[in-house]
Chain A
Amino acid sequence: MKEKLELIKKDFADALNNVKLKEELEELRVSFLGKKGKITQVMKGMRDLAPEMRKEVGQVINLIKDQINKNIRDKSIELEKKAVEKKISNEWSDITWPVESAKGTIHPVSIIRMELEKLFISMGFEILDGPEMEDEYHNFTALNIPEDHPARDTQDTFWLKNGKLLRTHTSPIEIRGMEKRKPPFKFVAPGKTFRNESLDTSHEHTFHQIEGMVVDRGISVANLIFTLKSIVSSIFGKEVEIRLRPSFFPFVEPGFELDFRCQICGGKGCSVCKRTGWVEYLGCGMTHPNVLREGGIDPDEFQGFAFGGGIERLVMMKYGIDDIRHFHGGDIRFLKQF
């Protein structure tokens, strides 16, 4: 009987070696361990053995059964592994195949505008909006711009037949903002503005500005400098040197022009900064008492500052765009770059 078992063991080993497919493995198992399998047959013959022999042979049979089961399991894993390897070896993708992004694009002016909005919201500013078809009062008169100021001329302003005009700056939102608020407050207002200019690479009749205003008791030039410095640094994502130059805008007093260190040349002087090392960016200043009064705010009690600047200039600096006319061109070849 022992010899018989040895023979079976050898038979199994040979048969296992010849197995190539997973289905054959099951057949092999049945042929040894199934109801009519070789081992089962041997076990049936055990009835004829003496009890002590039966125990001994039983143990041997169990060992062989375990061994067969284990071998079949191992073989199965091995075959599966081989099958996967074979499958993989024939599969290949061309990773150089060109594909397109599944996304459309947001206009570069909107991208920067949204970034600015996010920045100001994080600083606790409210974001306001105002009409593009504005009245003379909000666009000029309330902003302390005198009746005979050249800015009111048709050469600069798109006047409309209904007596209104297309706003020439976002500053009228200062007045609209003040009318509906009690200090302290701080808001910014990005938006489209219009000037009656002829087009060239750096002039547009339609462009975007962002206006900002902060009003509270005791607001000072020192506060303005602090705020604008942190805004400019946030825009560029690093500490950027700024400077204020005296300048004149009717709605602020004192008024300044804010320059920042040219980020193209680092201040050495290049064509972008006209070799000065500085880029003129914002008009700003302490809100003129007449303007506060028009907004219903007592200038003896409250002080404020305001600032306004173009958005296109930032976009052009950021992406190196050389012609402002692209922004209103509607050309996908331009738009899809952002």
Chain B
Amino acid sequence: MKISLDWLNDYVDIEDIKAEELADRLTMKSAEVEEAHWVGAHFEQVVTARVDKVVPHPDSERLKLATVFDGKTTQTVVCGAPNVAEGQIVLFAPLGTILPGNFEIKVAKIRGVESCGMICAQDELGLGDDHDGIMVLNDDVEPGKKALELFGGKDFIIEIENKTINHRPDLWGHFGIAREVRTIFEKPWKKELKYTGIDVDSETEKFEIEITTEKCLHYLALKMENIKVGPSPKWLSTRLNNIGIRSINNIVDAANYIMLETGHPMHTFDRRDVAGNKIVIRNADENEVFVTLDEMERVLKSDDAVIADENRVLAIAGVMGGLNSEVKDDTKEIVIESALFAPTSVRRTANRLDLRTDASSRFEKALWVENCYLAMQRFVELVKELVPQAVVTSKLAVGDNSENYGFKGKIEITTDRIRSLLGIPEESLRDDKIVSVLEFLDFGIDNKNGILSVEVPDHRRSKDVSIGEDITEEIGRIYGYNNIEPVTPLFGMERAPVNVELEKTNQLRRMLAETFKAHEVMNYCFTGSGDLEKIPYDVEKLVETVDDREVPYLRYTMASLLLKDVHENLKNFRDFKLFEFGKVFSTESERARLAIISTGEGSDILEMKRIVETIARDLRIPDLRYERPSDDFLLGKVLLHPGRSAIFSSVKPKIGIFGEIHPSILKKFDINVPVSYIEIDLEELYGLPQKNVKFTPLFKFPSTDFDVTAIVPEKTEVAKLIGILKKAVDRKQFVECKVVGHFSGSPIPEGYMSISFRIVMNAKDRTLTGDEIKTNHEKTINAVRKAGFKISGDK
């Protein structure tokens, strides 16, 4: 919202305050000023001038050379306007003038001729949109007059960030801002606006108000006659123009002016278009069609409130009036509305119709009943000023429905409590200062030795002030938060509890990046029906869709978006691993997951198992067990290659899955290289106990080992063979059994493979003898044969 300082100066004398400082103080104490600039400063430089001579430019058919007299000097300018002619009185910007848009007039050589100044068009002066030619004034205007005598002086415009006054209905007009300025700078009112009553000049009609909807809280109507619609005077159009409102005619401008002054939207109807004497505020009929002022056809819902006469709808309450009853050039009699509509209702209607107006955005903020009266009075005063013969010809018709609206009581708070909340010592913030700030802001105060009973003014009761903390805020902001001396909070020495899960997550994050060279990604939790087709799962649409968003589902597996990431990254990279910590969702719950996806070099299933084992080692959880997926745990059966995948467990079953992504899934994601994947349920993983680390003494005597190579059918699990070997040797002397090699292909018969094991043994109290080793070796060979396998070299 734009605020004019020239306008503010009507209510509070601010001539001694620097504009920039005022803007800055408002930001720090009331509402954020997001932008501030001077307008009309060029009117002090631009002057009226007479065109004495016009000759063609020697080097151009379109351009002309004009000699102008600005009251003191004569200048030659190059002018491209088609309408420039001798004898005209024009607006002339001499050298050094800075026009809107920070455009400085300098000496310019145009096709070889020096031009010293500029004859201005309407748009160049910020006076309108016209750029068809230069502005020509009446020829009775004398040359050498400053433009500000014709168009008003310069003004400083500040733009307030609307979202910082959403909670302050009183700051949506100049008068409310003036109250803040007066409080901040401790100034008296120059002109205070107060409702004193509206005199009826001659009553010609009586109006009746009927409110049948809870969406209207208060409604005032008044009739005026002898209206003459015409252009607004210069002061009015300039004020509106300076804050970006286009002047339309005196009556429309008056309504806008009062809204910008009091913050209260006004509406006027042409009396001829209002049937009868009863104004009804009711809910619209479902699907009732209505044409608004902007000539758009609107289909209403029974949720919308409308203003109607006995026949038809005249306006959408608080949003926009109707084309059927607007003020026209020949309007003589008007019915004025000053009303209060329920904030939520106005917001919903405006949103639904996508019709957010200056009026609707103010009603949304919760205006106050009393402001209806003040705005009506000010409107009548202004119309009478603009149209001196205008008269009030009805009594103020009132409809009230505001019994339960706004805060009604008084607030009790002590000055000590205020200081305690703000952390300001008494010597810096005395009771009388507190009282004075509140009085400046129009609060009523009854002070009994620091126990305050505070009466909230009308303009603050409707929304934002109802408790002691609200009062504290008023003191704090005017005192200045940046004047408060920072104080360290006093705290005990207890150690803050540690978030173990978070520490584990951060630990794994580092480990995956450092040990496995993986890159952490973050994906959205949304997923569309396209993904559901690729990775089928029985899942409900969880997100309420407002429009036809493509992502009505929340992700149920981490895989779909990671596979997309792989697909995209394959355009630039071949070997990579990605990982993500994230949540998956179901109707009942959300689960924290870790997923790792890998392609290219080092991406086989054993590498996945290595990652899983490293995670286990990193978190020191009990040993893991592996089995082939037998059910849908983490979608393992759908996602992964049935022969190349596993579920892993520990002391609790089912922690996670890993393996190669199923080739048919890869195909759906348009990936034609193998991809491996791990998904771990973090609640299960983090829920595992920690293994106790216990030192095992080192062997004093050297260990001895021997190798056994078995020829076994393909798909024989190596764990089975290790089990056989382990069982065969002397249990007390067994240290470990390692796989040292495997091979398939000639000379190994087809369908078979050879696997070499190294068995390490140690007697702990001595070096094992050659005979002992030999015996154990033979035992293992026999055991392998007994199990139905061959030993390398067997026939």
Contact = CB atoms under 8 A, between A and B. Distances in A.
A336 B518 CA distance: 10
Contacts of A131: 590
B423 A244 contact: no
B277 interface: no
A243 B541 CA distance: 45
A137 interface: no
Interface string A124-148: 1111110111000000000000001
Interface stretch (B93-101, B401-409, B475-483): B475-483
B590 to A, nearest CB: 5
B697 interface: no
A332 B513 contact: no
A332 B568 CA distance: 9
Contact of A223 (B477, B487, B520, B521): B487
User: Which of B344, B469, B484, B554 has its CB near the most chain A CB atoms (within 10 A)?
Assistant: B469
B384 interface: no
A225 B484 contact: yes
Given A229-B486, A330-B578, A160 B544 contact: yes
Given A114-B506, A253-B470, A160 B542 contact: yes
Nearest to A254: B473
A148 B514 CA distance: 49
A23 B467 CA distance: 101
B519 interface: yes
A70 interface: no
Interface string A88-107: 00000000000000111111
Contacts of A218: 420
A182 interface: no
A195 interface: no
Interface stretch (B437-445, B493-501, B632-640, B703-711): B493-501
Given A133-B585, A222-B487, A257-B32, A154 B544 contact: yes
Contacts of A132: 525, 583, 590
A187 B516 CA distance: 33
A221 B476 contact: yes
Contacts of A274: 34
Interface string B267-308: 000000000000000000000000000000000000000000
A160 B509 CA distance: 30
Given A155-B546, A220-B422, A226 B164 contact: no
A225 B542 contact: no
Interface in B586-613: 587-590
A10 B124 CA distance: 112
Given A104-B577, A106-B510, A227-B489, A289 B467 contact: yes
B502 interface: yes
B27 interface: yes
Interface in A243-294: 243-248, 253-257, 274, 286, 288-289
Given A206-B525, A328-B523, A246 B489 contact: no
Given A104-B514, A133-B585, A225-B481, A330 B543 contact: no
Interface string B518-547: 111111110000000000000011111010
Interface in A44-59: none
Contacts of B182: none
A121 B517 CA distance: 28
A106 B521 CA distance: 8
Contact of A253 (B467, B497, B589): B467
A124 B565 contact: no
Contacts of B565: 330
B492 interface: yes
A169 interface: no
Interface string B113-132: 00000000000000000000
A246 B568 contact: no
A162 interface: yes
A153 B27 CA distance: 29
A129 B30 contact: no
A222 B469 contact: no
B29 interface: yes
B481 A160 contact: no
A333 interface: yes
A248 B487 contact: no
A246 B30 contact: yes
B661 interface: no
A150 interface: yes
Interface string B74-93: 00000000000000000000
Nearest to A214: B489
Contact of B496 (A125, A205, A223): A125
B495 to A, nearest CB: 8
Interface in A279-338: 286, 288-289, 303, 327-328, 330-333, 335-336
B492 A184 contact: yes
Contacts of A104: 512-514, 516-520, 577
Nearest to A327: B522
A223 B542 contact: no
A128 B482 contact: no
A40 interface: no
A110 interface: yes
B507 to A, nearest CB: 11
Contacts of B422: 220-222
B421 to A, nearest CB: 6
A238 interface: no
Contacts of B421: 220-221, 286, 303
A186 interface: yes
Interface in B528-574: 540-544, 546, 554, 561-562, 564-565, 568-569, 572-573
A86 interface: no
A330 B568 contact: yes
Contact of A110 (B488, B520, B587): B520
A102 B509 contact: no
B491 interface: yes
B469 A286 contact: yes
Contacts of A243: 28, 481-482
A287 B23 CA distance: 29
B513 A254 contact: no
Contact of B521 (A222, A333, A335): A335
Given A160-B542, A206-B525, A110 B509 contact: yes
Contacts of B512: 104
A109 B582 CA distance: 13
Contacts of A128: 499
Contacts of B502: 117, 127, 129
Interface of B: 27-32, 34, 164, 166-168, 343-344, 347, 351, 420-424, 464, 467, 469-470, 472-473, 476-477, 481-482, 484-492, 495-497, 499, 501-502, 506, 509-510, 512-514, 516-525, 540-544, 546, 554, 561-562, 564-565, 568-569, 572-573, 576-578, 583, 585, 587-590
23 contacts: A104-B513, A104-B518, A132-B525, A150-B347, A155-B351, A160-B544, A162-B542, A205-B524, A218-B420, A220-B423, A221-B481, A221-B484, A222-B486, A245-B27, A246-B473, A246-B481, A253-B469, A254-B469, A256-B481, A286-B421, A330-B568, A330-B578, A332-B576
Top 7 nearest A-B pairs (CB, nearest first) are A222-B423, A220-B423, A254-B473, A330-B565, A226-B486, A148-B344, A104-B513
Given A132-B525, A243-B482, A332-B578, 10 more contacts: A106-B510, A206-B525, A227-B488, A243-B481, A245-B27, A245-B32, A246-B29, A246-B31, A246-B473, A247-B164
